[in-house]
Chain A
């Protein structure tokens, strides 16, 4: 727990608490929260701010038959609970990723996209735009230099990588905005597996990267 060195920005945590993130990024943040007590506390604090704002909002009268309707609905559908966002709805926010994977990370079907690089796109577009994927970087492999046209959240699930910012290990989260360019390289003997949410496609800086992009689908 205490080994986590890189965290989401405060803004990202507040976006999560206010329900402003797309589902892909919400899953990444929620997964990080399962590994980081500090960020969990911050999200709880922001939710308390939301609670306070709710309490101090000027009330607007409900329809006259609303209470009746609510009681009737709660009765009829007592056993059918529609899932809210699996990411937001977990009381412990404990690794909500498992709800999106069909099994464990070991069972993921990887698609090779470049030498030393494979990915698996995860269906997580329940609300708002955004792409969620697992990326596996083989030891020693370096990703092509790229930046992002929007916010990108990368959470390390296995192994480690290093880039211009520093060393990233399990539980660490890189919260990068558009202007930032980086070239992550897997470290150590085991592949580095990251969970990545992008609000928009990556922008590659090198010609090779740009040529590869349509094939990689990043």
Chain B
């Protein structure tokens, strides 16, 4: 995926983009629906996000993040933009995000793979009830009180499980590097 994004960035390669789209767009849509978005909202937001992926491919820096992480941040921002548009008229302006272009380096990609494997390991190690609350933390846009209601748990329990999970993830991933 990182190589495909690089191809999109370099020459606007549509076939490479179609592959990225085929893999990520349905996942972004599924992700948003898990967070409570209706299928229509999720479809629109996923389309918005993929337009940004295409337009901003040049800003993707494989030395800094995996393609999935980068697309996650774009989908996250697309959701925020939707809230922003709903609450006041859209602003037009220049995009401040103009990062210098960098080409992928082999050692970065290798490191990236290791880091991705590490995340899988750390998440698999979490007690299931903590992992569940943490997943909702990322999917959901709603306050933790809404998550607590949905899980039929006291708010304090949700908060403490989340805190334990987040502290552990931070420690394990932070120690690794």
Which of B42, B91, B94, B115 interacts with A48 by CB under 8 Å?
A: B115
Asked if A49 lies at the interface with its beta carbon under 8 angstroms from chain B, I say yes
Q: Which of B91, B138, B162, B177 has the most CB of A within 10 A?
A: B138
Pairwise interchain contact B25-A51, C-beta atoms closer than 8 A: no
Residues of B within 8 A of A59 (CB): 26-27, 29-30
Q: Would you call A71 and B87 a contact (CB within 8 A)?
A: no
Given contacts A51-B72, A126-B88, A127-B83, contact A11 B166 (CB under 8 A): yes
**How far, in whole Å, are A49 and B43 apart by their CA atoms in the complex?**
23
Given contacts A53-B138, A67-B18, contact A89 B84 (CB under 8 A): no
Residue of B nearest to A15 (CB): B137
Interfacial residues of chain A within 58-96, with CB under 8 A of chain B in the complex = 58-63, 66-67, 69-71, 73-74, 77-78, 80-86, 88-92
Per-residue 0/1 for B147-177: is the Cβ within 8 Å of any A Cβ (1 yes, 0 no)?
Answer: 0000000000000001100110110011001
Chain B, residue nearest A41 (CB): B174
User: Known interface pairs A62-B46, A81-B94. Does A52 touch B123 (Cβ–Cβ under 8 Å)?
Assistant: yes
A84 to B33, CA, bound (A): 21
A59 closest partner in B (C-beta):
B26
* A14 close to B47 (CB less than 8 A): no
B92 interfacial contact with A, CB 8 Å: yes
- Say whether A91 contacts B87, CB under 8 Å: no
Main secondary structure of the interface of A (DSSP, over half): helix
Bound Cα distance A19, B49 (Å)? 14
Which residue in chain A gives the minimum CB-CB distance to B74? A84
Complex CA gap A20/B95 in Å reads: 22
A50 at the interface (CB under 8 A from B): yes
B56: nearest residue on chain A (CB-CB)? A81
Q: Which residues of A contact B26 (CB under 8 A)?
A: 59-62
User: Cβ of A11: which chain B residues have Cβ within 8 Å of it?
Assistant: 162-163, 166
Chain B positions within 8 Å of A, measured between CB atoms, are 14, 17-18, 21, 24-31, 33-34, 39, 42-43, 46-47, 50-52, 54-56, 59, 61, 64-73, 75-81, 83-84, 87-88, 90-97, 99, 115-116, 119-120, 123, 134-135, 137-139, 141, 162-163, 166-167, 169-170, 173-174, 177
Chain A positions near chain B (C-beta within 8 angstroms): 10-11, 13-14, 18-20, 23, 38, 41-42, 44-55, 57-63, 66-67, 69-71, 73-74, 77-78, 80-86, 88-92, 99, 125-128
